[in-house]
Structure 1
Amino acid sequence: MSKNINYSILELASVAYGTTINETFKRSLDLAQKAEEMGYTRFWLAEHHNMISIASSATAVLIGYIAGGTSKIRVGSGGVMLPNHTPLIVAEQFGTLGSLYPDRIDLGLGRAPGTDQATAQAIRPDRMQAVYQFPEAVGQIQQYFSDNRGARVRVNVAEGVNVPLYILGSSTDSAYLAAKKGLPYAFASHFAPTHLFEALNIYYNQFQPSEFLEEPYTIAGINVIAADTDKEAERISTTMIRMLLGVLTNNLDYMQEPIDMTPELRDLQQNPAFQRMLTYAFRGSKDTVKEKTVEFLKQTGIDEVIVSSHIFHHEDRINSYRIFAEIMNEIKI
């Protein structure tokens, strides 16, 4: 039985060389507004810290900005890195967002730091203890959003507010938790593809229906750079390749303007670390990206695909997401 697959955006508010943080935020909002028109299901923002090229560190604040400038598209976290925060504060923030923008806010929760270890320590010195308590912290947030009358500690702005929880993962650990709690599960295959199929199998096989979800619901991430031709997409992708090089060599910088593909960059993509990170990076014309996307959807059986892109020129990024929306409206799996 064929079905339409939901398609969404994972936004990092990537900062291009020569642009300000303010301009970056305005471009994120413009993308969200156009994504709403293109039929994207949700617009998630990822929490990262101490990265010069990423401006989505104050995730809840940015979610409010995006939700306030749109009207229909769901807006949420992909995700909030819960061990960086206390469950009470997260419930307060997202309860407030859920009241301001009813039935449009998602709360995706992950356990990774979203940064380097030194910064993680600066964010929360007892973070590692919080990592081990991740399942309990998720339960606390669920409690704060429930009818919590009689409890000594309450989050009044969250009680009864409809903010769905999603469990995020890049390994198999969170798959067990999402299945046990009967929550939707999103896998970060756009940068950590190694355990994708193992994690999905665990989630599907061990899923327990809950008051939140009767059947499993899965989301997986891909990188997409779509353009009018394969050659143009290859050129645009040099921004992403150099950005990944900075990640792998710990030499982070702003997004750089694309250049013609060089032999050095071609050779770089043959590096095993690069090949792993680019496993689900679909670059090319509409036909090329469509073929790769269909194959990915058939292999995974996911309910929703969430797309990330690191593209220097805002117009190229809008065009890429427009092409991908056309692809998703043409295919059924």
Structure 2
Amino acid sequence: MKKIEYSILDLAIVSQGSSLKETFDNSLLLAQTAENVGYKRFWLAEHHNSIAIGSSATSILIGNIAEGTKTIRVGSGGIMLPNHSPLIIAEQFGTLGILYPNRIDLGLGRAPGTDQLTAQAIRSDFFQAAQSFPLEIEKIQRYFSTENADAKVRATLAEGVDVPLYILGSSTDSAHLAAKKGLPYAFASHFATTHLMNALKIYHNEFQPSSELEKPYTMAGVNIIVADTDEEAERISTSLYKMIVGLLTGNRGFMQAPVDMTEELRELSQNSSVQQMLKYSFIGSKETVKKQVKQFIADTQVDELIAVTNIYDGQDRIKSYQLFAEIMKELNGENS
């Protein structure tokens, strides 16, 4: 069986009582730990107008993580392209690619990463830009190509710089697009679970080889919380459940400290909307999570897992990622 890569998606989640500076420092410490235990990449998401999410100026945080690490790939999971000018994104990531050669990824998504009112504040023609997503990607590809040297509009910082593109998605639209362009495909199954299997099938069936990629390459987001025991992992997960309930009810706030699992919280965790959103969440001891992850890999046949671990305490989060790395090494050892 093939080796499965494992990576991290970070939103720079702000815990109650923590400052943004402490949050950013924790992200860097996590990335440094991840580099030491074999993670392939460390991606940062783009979100806006949320007090609990610090990854708004995504390219700046990517630079900070890349500066503080040596070998791990660092990138966007993703840049929400309709929020931006393709020229500016090409210049930003071209610059990152020059500063940190062969380490920068550019994952591109179509959603706003925020509410509609904020999307309009970011860019008044956002919805028009979202409809032009395939064309906007083509512009970025052109800016990164050496052939663009003769064009009247150039991103000179990007020309010929090696920054691989990834298509991100949470629906089947993105699967068709990634397959058509022959680009690697990352599905946001850590929160958008409904279309995962269908999207992967479409991508594999329709994939057209390109100069960037000879055969399909898939990544899937999964929520991971690993602790020494199932009971401890369940306790830590109460912060995640409270966060998801807040998202679904519009009551968004800082990440709350964990509590002992109550009957009320257990009932909320069994709510159909919460269950659907957290369908691909693997919570427990190493033994428990290893079984769940092994089954997920068998079901999806993905090439890479990108783990999302929203935990209140920074040290608990680092430990969870360390234990997950041990799980992946064990699974890859079994695969070989």
The answer to whether 1:176 aligns with 2:179 is no
- Partner SS state of residue 213, structure 1: coil
Q: 1:19 — aligned with what?
A: 18
Q: 2:194 — aligned with what?
A: 194
Alpha-carbon separation, structure 2, partners of 1:269 and 1:251: 16
Question: Normalized against structure 2, the TM-score is what?
Answer: 0.98
Q: 2:127 — aligned with what?
A: 128
Deviation string 1:82-141 (CA, Å, 9 cap, x unpaired) is 000010010010000000000000000000010011101100010000011000000000
Identity level (%): 64
Q: 1:144 — aligned with what?
A: 143
Alpha-carbon separation, structure 1, partners of 2:263 and 2:135: 50
Q: 1:107 — aligned with what?
A: 106
Alpha-carbon separation, structure 1, partners of 2:240 and 2:129: 33
Q: 1:258 — aligned with what?
A: 258
Alpha-carbon separation, structure 2, partners of 1:305 and 1:234: 22
Q: Is the contact between residue 52 and residue 252 of structure 2 (CA under 8 Å) also seen in structure 1?
A: yes
Equivalenced residues, count: 332
Alpha-carbon separation, structure 1, partners of 2:314 and 2:143: 39
- Partner SS state of residue 186, structure 1: strand
The answer to whether 1:240 aligns with 2:257 is no
Q: Is the contact between residue 179 and residue 203 of structure 2 (CA under 8 Å) also seen in structure 1?
A: yes
Unaligned stretches of 5+ residues in structure 2: none
The answer to whether 1:36 aligns with 2:24 is no
Alpha-carbon separation, structure 2, partners of 1:176 and 1:4: 26
- Partner SS state of residue 67, structure 1: helix
Q: 2:284 — aligned with what?
A: 284
* One-letter code aligned to 1:81: M
* One-letter code aligned to 2:176: Y
Q: Is the contact between residue 229 and residue 285 of structure 2 (CA under 8 Å) also seen in structure 1?
A: yes
* One-letter code aligned to 1:134: F
Alpha-carbon separation, structure 2, partners of 1:324 and 1:330: 10
| Aligned-residue offset at 1:278 | 1.2
Alpha-carbon separation, structure 2, partners of 1:90 and 1:302: 28
Alpha-carbon separation, structure 2, partners of 1:310 and 1:328: 19
Q: Is the contact between residue 46 and residue 76 of structure 2 (CA under 8 Å) also seen in structure 1?
A: yes
* One-letter code aligned to 1:151: A
- Partner SS state of residue 296, structure 1: helix
Alpha-carbon separation, structure 1, partners of 2:270 and 2:67: 43
Alpha-carbon separation, structure 2, partners of 1:298 and 1:167: 23
Deviation string 1:48-81 (CA, Å, 9 cap, x unpaired) is 0011110000000000000000000000000000
The answer to whether 1:119 aligns with 2:118 is yes
* One-letter code aligned to 1:107: L
Equivalence map 1:10-89=2 (5 Å) = 10-89=9-88
Alpha-carbon separation, structure 1, partners of 2:2 and 2:187: 20
Alpha-carbon separation, structure 2, partners of 1:124 and 1:94: 20
| Aligned-residue offset at 1:4 | 1.1
Alpha-carbon separation, structure 2, partners of 1:175 and 1:144: 23
Q: 1:212 — aligned with what?
A: 212
| Aligned-residue offset at 1:19 | 0.7
- Partner SS state of residue 306, structure 1: strand
Question: Normalized against structure 1, the TM-score is what?
Answer: 0.99
Q: Is the contact between residue 149 and residue 156 of structure 2 (CA under 8 Å) also seen in structure 1?
A: no
* One-letter code aligned to 2:27: S
Deviation string 1:174-202 (CA, Å, 9 cap, x unpaired) is 11110001000000000001000100001
Alpha-carbon separation, structure 2, partners of 1:217 and 1:77: 17
* One-letter code aligned to 1:82: L
| Aligned-residue offset at 1:309 | 1.1
Alpha-carbon separation, structure 2, partners of 1:69 and 1:270: 40
Alpha-carbon separation, structure 1, partners of 2:211 and 2:306: 25
Unaligned stretches of 5+ residues in structure 1: none
Alpha-carbon separation, structure 1, partners of 2:320 and 2:218: 24
Alpha-carbon separation, structure 2, partners of 1:157 and 1:50: 30
- Partner SS state of residue 149, structure 1: helix
Alpha-carbon separation, structure 1, partners of 2:73 and 2:216: 20
Alpha-carbon separation, structure 2, partners of 1:46 and 1:113: 11
Deviation string 1:188-237 (CA, Å, 9 cap, x unpaired) is 00000100010000100000000000000000000000000000000000
Spell out structure 1 runs of 4+ moving beyond 3 A. none
Alpha-carbon separation, structure 1, partners of 2:220 and 2:181: 19
Q: Is the contact between residue 169 and residue 175 of structure 2 (CA under 8 Å) also seen in structure 1?
A: yes
* CA RMSD between the two structures: 0.5
Alpha-carbon separation, structure 2, partners of 1:130 and 1:19: 36
